[in-house]
């Protein structure tokens, strides 16, 4: 039985004040939550959120990492730096990084491997654009994205990877995939893993992301192959985020 995982991706939002209010609000409701809950925060706030969440059930993550250990990479953040602030998770290959910062499948696979090498759990994002879906390419796109990681790291790597299926057309648009569309994609993703290793396919968490909110979370997470959510907008309000966390 896979445990429900709910991860918030705050993206580039927040201030010291709002971060404090949000984290305190989430912590206040955590006693009623059975899911594993993660907040993936902008790097400048890792320290603040670490201090607020020590000895709590709330887990900390970052939103990206650089593959190098240290050095002349202005503006970048290493795996060691992320771990230094008590974070155990890192989002890798979010569609915004793929589209706005030209991260290819190979770049993303490399980041997944570096996260694993450093003991971080990658939340590995995949998903097709609207044009790709409309032209019948959803399966080939997610297959290609997953295969890049299998080719570089092997199927065993998925013992330590969380997959997030985020159809690009559903991100920040208010257009959620229907439970059937999401379930179909998740089942397909699990079948790709199963072609390589049936046990790993069964144990790997596959989260759905894309306009998930308190009104649609239960139905989505209730689907057989949907093991939780990666939440953008609705993770910025403690009440909304907690409602989703309580689904598990």
| Catalytic sites, residue numbers | 94, 166
Find the DSSP H helices in 93-231: 95-100, 105-117, 130-134, 138-153, 179-196, 198-203, 217-221
Instruction: Point out which span in 17-25, 101-109, 151-159, 166-174 binds ligand 13P (CB under 6 A).
Output: 166-174
- Whether residue 61 contacts residue 90, with contact meaning beta carbons closer than 8 Å, is answered with yes
Rounded distance, CA 35 to CA 16, Å? 26
Give the orientation angle of helix 16-29 with respect to helix 46-53, to 10 degrees.
30
Residue window 90-119: x/- pattern of binding to ligand 13P, with contact defined by CB under 6 A: ----x-------------------------
- Smallest gap from residue 74 Cβ to ligand 13P (A): 25
Q: Residues with Cβ < 8 Å from 105, sequence gap 6 or more?
A: 144, 145, 148
Using CB under 6 A, pick the residue from 232, 241, 244, 247 that binds ligand 13P. Answer: 232
- Smallest gap from residue 7 Cβ to ligand 13P (A): 8
Q: Which is nearer to ligand 13P, 201 or 234 (CB)?
A: 234
> What's the DSSP call for residue 118?
T
Q: Which is nearer to ligand 13P, 72 or 102 (CB)?
A: 102
Q: Which is nearer to ligand 13P, 13 or 88 (CB)?
A: 13
Rounded distance, CA 206 to CA 175, Å? 20
- Smallest gap from residue 103 Cβ to ligand 13P (A): 14
- Binding of residue 171 to ligand 13P (CB under 6 A): yes
């Amino acid at each position: 039985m896979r445990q429900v995982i709910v991860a918030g991706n705050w993206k580039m939002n927040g201030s010291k004040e709002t971060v404090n209010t949000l984290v305190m609000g989430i912590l206040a409701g955590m006693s009623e939550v059975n899911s594993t809950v993660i907040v993936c925060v902008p790097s400048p706030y890792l320290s603040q959120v670490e201090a607020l969440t020590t000895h709590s059930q709330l887990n900390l993550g970052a939103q990206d990492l650089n593959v190098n250990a240290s050095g002349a990479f202005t503006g970048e953040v290493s795996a060691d730096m992320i771990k230094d602030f008590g974070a155990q998770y890192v989002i890798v290959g979010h569609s915004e990084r793929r589209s706005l910062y030209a991260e290819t499948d190979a770049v993303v696979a490399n980041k997944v491997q570096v996260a694993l090498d450093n003991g971080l759990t990658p939340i590995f994002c995949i998903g097709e654009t609207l044009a790709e879906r409309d032209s019948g390419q959803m399966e080939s796109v997610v297959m290609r994205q997953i295969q890049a990681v299998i080719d570089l790291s092997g199927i065993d790597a998925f013992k330590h990877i969380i997959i997030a299926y985020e159809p690009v057309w559903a991100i920040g648009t208010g257009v959620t995939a229907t439970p059937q569309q999401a379930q179909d994609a998740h089942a397909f993703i699990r079948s790709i893993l199963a072609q390589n290793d049936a046990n790993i396919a069964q144990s790997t968490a596959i989260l759905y992301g894309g306009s998930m909110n308190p009104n649609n979370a239960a139905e989505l997470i209730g689907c057989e192959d949907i093991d939780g959510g990666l939440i953008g907008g609705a993770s910025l309000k403690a009440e909304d985020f907690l409602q989703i966390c309580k689904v598990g």
